Amino acid sequence: MALRYRLRRIRLDRLQAPGDRFDVAAAPRPAPQHRQERRSLTAAYLLWALAFVGLCGLQRFYTRRPLSGAFLLLTFGFCGLGQLLDLFLVPRLVQSANRREPALLPLDRQLLELARRRGQAGFTINDALLDLWHQEPVPIEPVRQEIERLLFAHLLDVGNDDRGRVIYREP
């Protein structure tokens, strides 16, 4: 109860003028990032075959290896030896390109997806930090700010679970 009162008070403090609500669009947001596309073995071999018409190394660009791709392109496939070697390496290159860590979604999307996955049980800030932690720890302050922004936009709802923990869930 006290938490809801405090959130209402924070909302009132954030209002700029009577009738003027907190502008969610003006709030700072992380730069959008897109999911990484998967690479196809067939497409990589088709690009490899373009070496027969003089375009060597395109399969390297396709498998996210631009430096070696530029080298093969400028040296005509390293006189054909690099292209011949890539005939056997293309499956491994595609597998390596698909195994790389995909680019993360923006923080707000990740939090909303976490809320949807958890359903009525909701999630705590600790749950969010553990879910968002991939290769390096995520600082708590940006997560708190983003949760607050989503609360003000009415995209998340705050409540307490049976143990008294503060949880966030979809409205």
Q: Indicate if 86 and 122 belong to the same structural domain.
A: no
Q: Indicate if 75 and 128 belong to the same structural domain.
A: no
**What is the number of residues in the chain?**
171
Q: Indicate if 110 and 93 belong to the same structural domain.
A: no
Domain count, the chain: 2
**pLDDT tens, 63-83?**
999 999 999 999 988 888 999
What integer is the mean pLDDT of 158-163? 91
Residue 33, in any domain of the structure:
no
Residue 31, in any domain of the structure:
no
Domain around 165 = 105-171
Q: Indicate if 156 and 116 belong to the same structural domain.
A: yes
Residue 10, in any domain of the structure:
no
Confidence band of 24 (pLDDT split at 50, 70, 90)? very low
CA distances for 80 relative to 41, 75, 98, angstroms: 21, 9, 26
The yes-or-no verdict on residue 18 having pLDDT over 60 is: no
Q: Indicate if 62 and 114 belong to the same structural domain.
A: no
